Structure 1
């Protein structure tokens, strides 16, 4: 009766991926690179040539996804959180080293946390740490249900509960799963550092061929669209900042970026990013990361010292408590509309689609990018260290930003006499409106310097995100090899990324980018669910292999 138990085979430690030997694509997988260029190029040409059609098709897609896949997005992110917790507490998994046995981490804890923080949330903090709590303070599911009142003191705790949901453990679980899968199969099994390697326990050698190519293409497209979303928000904010420091003429009457503003901002950001990517990770990215870490700390310290310090502390402590208690409900609850546009059910479903589903898609689209980065900086750490480090520390950092930067905004609007100047500003401009309100009475010069510092900080964040994305797309296209740094390829993806953002912003503004990204993230969310199963299967089989005295670690070929 023993023959139905699968005989234990050695782990797969060799996954050849065909790359070109010569010519323009030397070192790159032609299938992956050319197909992803066609998809991204096609999207840009379509959006520019047929803007109205593109806008309406994207909208139809958007409502289709929200009505049919909202539950899918909500539940997969809940699954990622559960899998991360399982891996941290499962004894066979927790102590495994993401590297050779006994290998020590390459980076100190401080550097490791700084880089993790910078990769995952940089830009988001500058727009959303102020804008999101202010939004939820005005409206959230409790307000829709009539339990609290928008914009009054009884709504402060709700504002934080929902902000923490979107930037807390759910977001970081998406990154942790992708990073863990990549690190495990690259550093323990010696497989190529690319997305398809993480599915070898499920599909084995089949991943060398077209099936594996499709998985890598899906990851490249998701990455480009996820980073385009970040750059889209960044462009709006960058143009607001330029107007604040005296470079005007780039905005429409409503205070959003005009077409000229969009193009100026994209050229500046993508030009700097492409130059930085050409200089490689060592020089460009490290140098920029250091600048933006210092400036971030300076900006946060300003809010801690001169913002609503006590209000922020209270919001942080109470907010974390509220969040942890409400988390099981918030992570699994899916609201469905009932067809009546004015009913509470439909409003709740609409709110969830615009906020939670959008964020979950964004974090999934960002996962190949942040995951690959996390894998590269976490070699030699144990799985438990990795999961706890990548989930808890960055979540807490987000919470601190949200409570002190966003809390100061709410406090100034409620009790500080801001009189709507922060609330009425466009999202990207809220942080400028707030620092301006705080500093102008003291000194116009200080106010200008602060706006200037935020513009520089924003620029370094956007450039770091964009150039890391370009390098990571090239790593996936080159079958996991960071070697071939062909200049034309870096320039191509730099231009392509800028073109996607510009084309979609000109077609339908941020809404168009958001829709393209929610669609692009969908196939990759399926890949991530498979990653979870592959990781669990690999770790379970490795513990059986160890008992049988088999090798579970492949030594890298010299």
Structure 2
């Protein structure tokens, strides 16, 4: 089965999502008086009633992610076995960092440590103890727990989308649990929840972003701080985000992400070099130790023994909800950019690389601000308590060239704003198109505008409090979706293990290529045919052999369907409601090894394979998992048939074990 698109969209997901967004925006506009108290009570109810669920879930996601990474499943490719990563490691990390929590880091890197210093969540006394505790809690909120949420959703999407060619949407993770019903109402509902969670999660970040831009403009140019200005900023930056999302992943989002990383590194280096350098590196080390020491205790703290648990709800539970609501967006985004990586590389990369980058950023900015507070330089505490979005600029004021660095900070917030918005729009666009990346431009524009509209409406309704409440609330249903997705992933990985076991225990059928006469086998091994010879082998020998197998299956096995694809040698055998079997012979080019070339053919300084005529081709076997890296050029028709039967026999053993 497949999803039925109409003009590039999936109506069963697009229409309910669009209607829900429209009704929420309309309700806030028509009934502004009750909007603010409604969101306040909604936030209180969710955090008090389901805070325990959020806390247990994020800890569970982290444990499962690490368990999978270090298990035998870690070597599995997110894609076919022969695939390599599309993006370099540096570009991959840049996009992880920019799309992950860029705006939030800029907003909270100074504001959160200062807020925890002013209103400590524990019994610390004295500047040093308060500063240490403030950074400890900040690290918790930006650490492994949150990135584990992203890692699990991204892994579910990448595994089923690239390994099993299912639609690149959240519903695909449920396939091992409910089968083809993912294409029906259950699957549509899951994707609608993903759209709404993404939309409100991104809208919250956009709200933080425009508050900070407005504060920076007021600091530099004395521009009024008001909701009107912030709504205008949302409108202007949404236009930039729309242009970027129309440009696409490579032309727009990738380049902006790399620009973000460069600007962020410039600001970071400036703070580290001209700030309290030794303190920053010393604090980073100690902050890591404090974080590891309390991550379990504080990670599971939901305020059950605290008569006033508002702090936990306003901070820790909000963060867990924010990470969960962002997970469809960031999870799908990092899945798209991670094709070809192994599960172990993906999980460890997503968990530790951005986390350590976030930690060092938080230390550089947070501990610098706390250092200035301790030294009595500037009234940072008073200014941040009065206007939290101005925290970054107040800290930069204590360093040289505050005007230039503050302006750079504003530019950085805007570019992070754009990448967050256009990445979110692109992801929603894919979900509402049933996983297709070939979507109409108008749909991309629609979702980019919708994000800005939701952010502006919630700011008008109740400011950042309304945005936080909407984020925590929309995360609730999606928490259950993630849990079910992980169950589906574990079942899928278990089936893959059974497949490997089936291949190991299935006996080879006598008569394969290994039994060809030794001189013919040696000639085949030493041969370095060109593309014409390989094509002739595929057309004259391999394709007829696969056609013989197909005809025999069609004639004698009523439970299976066999078909050939294209003009080459590509056989597929389908078993109803079970994984398909594929055997294809594909011409793959390789550099000719030096020993196979005459030295007279190589010029000085030239290596084998530099010239086009110094390439040779192999007739490599591809299964449903991808390339198997072995060559069957030189096999005769009968030997190819036996090789197909060997692989098919292993596949049937796998189906028998998996049932």
Q: Same fold (TM over 0.5)?
A: yes
Q: Distance in 2 between matches of 1:244 and 1:284?
A: 30
Equivalent positions of 1:426-445 (< 5 A) are 426-439=387-400
What aligned pairs does 1:16-31 form with structure 2 within 5 A after superposition?
16-20=2-6, 26-31=7-12
Q: Given the alignment of the two structures, is residue 394 of structure 1 paired with residue 362 of structure 2, yes or no?
A: no
User: Max radius of gyration: which structure?
Assistant: 2
Q: Tell me how far 1:202 sits from its aligned partner.
A: 1.0
Residue number in structure 2 paired with 1:352 = 312
Q: CA RMSD in A?
A: 1.7
Name the SS of the counterpart of 2:341 in structure 1. coil
> Is 1:132–2:132 an aligned residue pair?
no
How far 1:286 moved relative to its partner? 2.2
Matches within 5 A, 1:125-274: 125-143=105-123, 148-149=124-125, 152-246=127-221, 248-249=223-224, 251=225, 258-274=226-242
- Alignment of 1:448 with 2:403, yes or no, is yes
Greater relative contact order, per chain length (Cα 8 Å cut-off, separation 6+): 1
What residue is the counterpart of 2:631 in the other structure? Answer: none
Task: Give the SS at the match of 1:548.
Answer: helix
Instruction: Tell me how far apart the structure 2 counterparts of residues 259 and 67 of structure 1 sit (CA, whole Å).
Output: 30
Aligned mate of 1:108, from 78, 88, 113: 88
* 1:189-244 C-alpha deviation (Å, 9 max, x unpaired): 01111111111111111111111000000000000000001001001001111122
**Compared with structure 1, are the counterparts of its residues 160 and 447 closer, same or farther at alpha carbon in structure 2 (3 Å cutoff)?**
closer
> More displaced, 418-427 or 399-408?
418-427
| Structure 2: gaps (5+ residues) | 504-578, 583-622, 627-659
Deviation of the 1:426 alpha carbon: 2.0
Matched, 1:46 2:7: no
Residues 240-249 or 117-126, more deviating: 240-249
User: Do structure 1's residue 88 and structure 2's residue 69 form an aligned pair?
Assistant: yes
Aligned to 1:489: 443
Q: 1:423 to 1:132 in 2, by over 3 A?
A: same
User: Normalised by the size of structure 2, how large is the TM-score?
Assistant: 0.75
Q: CA deviation at 1:245?
A: 2.7
Residue 336 (1) aligns with residue 290 (2): no
Query: In the alignment, what sits opposite 1:468?
Result: 423
> 1 CA distance for matches of 2:208 and 2:441?
28
Gaps of 5+ in 1: 1-14, 21-25, 252-257, 338-344, 440-445
> How far 1:139 sits from its partner (Å)?
2.8
Contact 1:186 1:193 (8 Å CA) reproduced: yes
Q: Secondary structure at the match of 1:346?
A: coil
Distance in 2 between residues matched to 1:277 and 1:493, nearest whole Å: 10
State the 1:533 CA deviation.
1.2
Alpha-carbon distance in 2 for matches of 1:90, 1:380? 19
Contact 2:152 2:331 in 1 (8 A): yes
1:315 to 2:283 alignment:
yes
Q: Which one of 100, 103, 119 corresponds to residue 120 of structure 1? A: 100
The structure whose residues are more often strand, as a share, is 2
Corresponding residue for 1:459?
Answer: 414
CA distance in 2 between counterparts of 1:158 and 1:33 reads 45
Q: 1:71 aligns with which of 25, 29, 52?
A: 52
**Number of aligned positions between the proteins:** 509
**Residue in 1 aligned with 2:556?**
none
Q: Distance in 2 between matches of 1:154 and 1:114?
A: 34
Q: Secondary structure at the match of 1:520?
A: helix
Q: Shift of the alpha carbon at 1:418? A: 2.1
Asked if 2 retains the 8 angstrom alpha-carbon contact of 1:99 and 1:187, the reply is: yes
Task: Tell me if the contact between 2:91 and 2:254 (Cα under 8 Å) persists in the aligned partners.
Answer: no
Q: Deviations over 1:4-52 (max 9, x none)?
A: xxxxxxxxxxx511221xxxxx121101001000111111110111012
TM-score, normalised by the number of residues in structure 1: 0.88
